[in-house]
Structure 1
Amino acid sequence: MRFFSTLSLLASLAAATILENGQVRKVNFLDTKVASIGSNSTGWKTYGPNATEISYKGRWDSKHISWWAAPGIKFGFTGDQVAISFGQYTSPGVLVAYRLSGQDWQFTNVTANSTHQFVSRSTPGLNATLPSQLPLSFELRVTNWAYGVQLSAVHIASSANLIKIPNHSKTIEFIGDSLTSGMYATYEAFSSFGYNIGAGFGNVEFSVTAYPGICLHDANCWGNPRGQTYQWHQTSDTSWRASQIYGESPEKWDFRKHPAADIVLINLGTNDNNTANSVSNTDYLNSYMKFVADVHEVYPKAQIILMSLWNGFYATGNLRAERSLQRRDLGGILQHNDIAPQWHPTDVGHIKIASHVMQYIRIKFGWEFGATGPEVQHETLYWNDESGY
């Protein structure tokens, strides 16, 4: 989709107003900031960012800085306290989602050189009467695609322990642009169909290597200096903050140190197809063929799903979303109100796409759903308690 470079740093401000059906959505992000916690602070035990008990989700570099869309961490712990310190490369006011042992997600804003306490004895769902050694799980995700955090330290109660949570046996990677990364969705990457597919299965590892405005072909598109044929091999994305930290020499992503993807879903080409970016049909086709070969070289056993280009709505019909390798026609899935005014899916549009892709993967590749509850997106707990009108 068209990406306005002037909005790249403004459209995703953590304090931005969220609209829902044209009305302002009331949000109450918790204030979790606390005083700094040193390694010798009373009542706390501190782990460095390289602790083996911490599982990093998505792409993080050697400085423990997060990149791309909806990256996160997960670990188990005992005790009744969790706090995290964030380093100097954390984006100002970035909105993160966090949860305790698979419960509802909570949201808070964090910033550079700060410490935030996410779990305490008053945290809902944490029963202080339970044995102190009962292990719980903690997850944190960056909701954005342009911002990120730098993990500096994890703190838990002094008598507690951090616990490694084993990865799931299956892995899926999403490679895309603004559509996959959730641009203009209410919680951006955290509302995207990429995130919703991965999280919806509940029993897979996933990463969303997507960034708004990026082309498949290695060209400057909407302010992105390189295309995915190059950038997918790098740890960082094409954001302004990446250029400030690494310039033109980003860290290579070492695929060998991470689980190979079993399924790769690619949704690229909308920006190549825009006349403003001057990518020819020949360059696009050649780059796509090379890119699929590159993915197969990195992941020899992976199944690849290609999602074709998107169209808008017109008076004569519906948006068509086609997937191939087998060019399965999914016309009619998305309706008019599933596309927002900025030509990107609404939250419900992302959920629809995710639902159908999940069913396709289940039928085609035999992946069964492992979520413990009904398929529902975060922040969609709405109800009516009126008996009549």
Structure 2
Amino acid sequence: MLGFTTAQLFGLLPLVAGTILMNGQEKVTSYPNTKFDLDATSFTSYAANASEISYQGRWDSKHVSWWSAPGLKFGFTGSTVAISFGNWTSDGVLVGYRIGGMDWQFTNVTASGTHLFVSKDTAGVSETWPYNPLTFELRVTNWAYGVQIDQVHVAKGEKLVKVSPASRRLEVIGDSLASGMYTSYEGLSSWGYALGAGLGDTEYSITAYPGICAADQDCWGNPRGQMHQWFYTSDTSYRASVMYGDKPEPWNFCKHPAADIVVINIGTNDQNTANNVSTASYIDALTKLIEGVHGKWPRAQVVVMSLWLGFYQAGNSYFPSASQGFEKEIYAMVEYFNSDAYLTAPVVWDGTKNKTTVLSTRADPFVHYFNTTGILQHNDIGPQWHPTDVGAIKVASHLIQYIRLTFGWELRATGPEVLHDTLYWNDEQNY
């Protein structure tokens, strides 16, 4: 999308304290300092590969997090949780954390440091219902940065407990719109996160990164497109190039449960003339991406979203851009996937250039079209051409209802907070 510099996009800028404006007013960024010196004699420690730790989203073999809103979750006994972070942690990255379904809390964590997240004074630590044992969850907020888990610590004599996974799985594939660029808490304010967390009883992964195209070419400094990168563990960030160069770890689909539903919203960067992606190249890339999803997860249902490109003022009102990006072509591609031409000889792709396989068994229709037209108004798009917090909530809410109506998924939100700092109200009667 438009409106960001290459340095901002790839995390070349250091993480320093600065002024962040929200609606023209300074946002408070002085989060509690949780760093402390670990006395190993007072703790029971678990290595990053402990079976009790459930990693959410994409993490590599070094236990480094990637893409948008990756996290971890585990149960624990006692009233103490600390985490030691490895040297591949982005120094100062903001993480959200909480006990059970309590409100998100935030802190900046340090590379090669240990942080105390739960103590006897933490809200909810004295309550054992309905989460028994207590559960701890951590999510990385920023799409360009990440953490490396070294060890997890609980009080001496206490233990970690594996949490049962949710019964449904959702994958979001996209770019800056899905990853939460310019929303208040980035990944934790994105529509991708709000969709996954808002459904309830759903494991979710947001494989999205700002500036990336569907087409496998350089777009806004991203060296590869999603038709290639989705098959790999790491994203296209600068830190990924430092760690892996041009040889990232393939994502091991066999070791991770398949998604039930895959939502794809990508093409805004392909549509931008600055990236010189032809319509044919974009549709070919999006087609291969869907073929790749079908090859890895044959039973997954795929939802392809139409694109939106913002609003302009005309006269005394606002109107959506005349072209929302490849509308007819995207719809025609969805129809192709649901035609006998594809279903009788389904093609799958493994991410290797020009390597496709035609399956011998007939496929059931699995590709669906979600039309975003009419959901957003001009003030749902921020000055940087991306959804505001409210815009992201609207997109997620419509998608949640679409999934309920199309696939019969029950809405299982039970009360725990999803989006932080969005509870705005007026408590003054006389105004």
What SS does the corresponding residue of 1:189 show, helix, strand or coil? helix
Matched, 1:30 2:10: no
The one-letter code sitting in structure 1 at the alignment partner of 2:35 is K
1:229-267: CA deviations, max 9, x gaps?
Answer: 111011000000011111111101001110101110111
Match in the other structure for 1:306: 304
Contact 1:89 1:112 in 2 (8 A): yes
1:72-91: CA deviations, max 9, x gaps?
Answer: 00000000100000000000
The one-letter code sitting in structure 2 at the alignment partner of 1:331 is T
Matched, 1:209 2:207: yes
d(CA) in 1 for partners of 2:245 and 2:149?
21
What SS does the corresponding residue of 1:32 show, helix, strand or coil? coil
Q: Aligned Cα RMSD in Å?
A: 2.2
Task: Output aligned runs, 1:286-365, within 5 Å.
Answer: 286-316=284-314, 317-319=318-320, 325=334, 327=369, 329-365=371-407
The one-letter code sitting in structure 1 at the alignment partner of 2:288 is K
Give 1:13 deviation, angstroms. Answer: 4.3
Task: Output aligned runs, 1:188-203, within 5 Å.
Answer: 188-203=186-201
What SS does the corresponding residue of 2:153 show, helix, strand or coil? strand
Q: Give identity over the alignment, percent.
A: 59
What SS does the corresponding residue of 1:34 show, helix, strand or coil? coil
d(CA) in 1 for partners of 2:206 and 2:404?
20
d(CA) in 1 for partners of 2:374 and 2:24?
24
Match in the other structure for 1:4: 5
Match in the other structure for 2:78: 79
1:127-154: CA deviations, max 9, x gaps?
Answer: 28x79x9510000000010100000000
Give 1:356 deviation, angstroms. Answer: 0.4
d(CA) in 2 for partners of 1:329 and 1:175?
16
The one-letter code sitting in structure 1 at the alignment partner of 2:152 is V
d(CA) in 2 for partners of 1:387 and 1:108?
35
d(CA) in 2 for partners of 1:88 and 1:329?
43
Please point out which of 144, 147, 161 is paired with 1:146: 144
Q: Which moved more, 1:133-142 or 1:150-159?
A: 133-142
Q: Which moved more, 1:13-22 or 1:116-125?
A: 13-22
Give 1:185 deviation, angstroms. Answer: 0.9
Ranges in structure 1 where 5+ consecutive residues have no aligned partner: none
Contact 2:96 2:139 in 1 (8 A): yes
Ranges in structure 2 where 5+ consecutive residues have no aligned partner: 335-367
Contact 2:305 2:372 in 1 (8 A): no
Contact 1:79 1:134 in 2 (8 A): no
d(CA) in 2 for partners of 1:164 and 1:380?
31
Give 1:309 deviation, angstroms. Answer: 2.1
d(CA) in 1 for partners of 2:416 and 2:242?
42
Task: Output aligned runs, 1:103-118, within 5 Å.
Answer: 103-118=102-117
Match in the other structure for 1:120: 119
d(CA) in 2 for partners of 1:219 and 1:121?
51
d(CA) in 1 for partners of 2:25 and 2:155?
42
Please point out which of 241, 263, 266 is paired with 1:265: 263
What SS does the corresponding residue of 2:270 show, helix, strand or coil? coil
Please point out which of 240, 243, 246 is paired with 1:242: 240
Q: Which moved more, 1:269-278 or 1:322-331?
A: 322-331
d(CA) in 2 for partners of 1:65 and 1:191?
22
1:205-250: CA deviations, max 9, x gaps?
Answer: 0000000000101001111010111110110000000111111111
The one-letter code sitting in structure 1 at the alignment partner of 2:84 is S
What is the number of residues matched between the two proteins? 384
Contact 1:57 1:73 in 2 (8 A): yes
Task: Output aligned runs, 1:156-167, within 5 Å.
Answer: 156-167=154-165
Contact 1:319 1:332 in 2 (8 A): no
Please point out which of 154, 169, 186 is paired with 1:171: 169
The one-letter code sitting in structure 2 at the alignment partner of 1:180 is A
Task: Output aligned runs, 1:213-228, within 5 Å.
Answer: 213-228=211-226
Match in the other structure for 1:93: 92
d(CA) in 1 for partners of 2:21 and 2:373?
28
Give 1:7 deviation, angstroms. Answer: 2.1
What SS does the corresponding residue of 1:207 show, helix, strand or coil? strand
Give the TM-score, by structure 2 length. Answer: 0.84
Give 1:376 deviation, angstroms. Answer: 5.5
What SS does the corresponding residue of 2:169 show, helix, strand or coil? strand
Contact 1:233 1:252 in 2 (8 A): yes
Give 1:15 deviation, angstroms. Answer: 3.7
Q: Which moved more, 1:318-327 or 1:199-208?
A: 318-327
What SS does the corresponding residue of 2:96 show, helix, strand or coil? strand
In structure 2, relative to structure 1, the CA distance for the partners of 1:94 and 1:260 (3 Å cut) is same
Give 1:28 deviation, angstroms. Answer: 4.1
What SS does the corresponding residue of 2:268 show, helix, strand or coil? coil
Match in the other structure for 2:349: none
Contact 2:96 2:104 in 1 (8 A): yes
In structure 2, relative to structure 1, the CA distance for the partners of 1:108 and 1:328 (3 Å cut) is closer
Give 1:179 deviation, angstroms. Answer: 0.5
Contact 2:179 2:206 in 1 (8 A): yes
Contact 1:36 1:114 in 2 (8 A): no
Give the TM-score, by structure 1 length. Answer: 0.93
d(CA) in 1 for partners of 2:16 and 2:398?
30
Give 1:374 deviation, angstroms. Answer: 7.8
Contact 2:304 2:370 in 1 (8 A): no
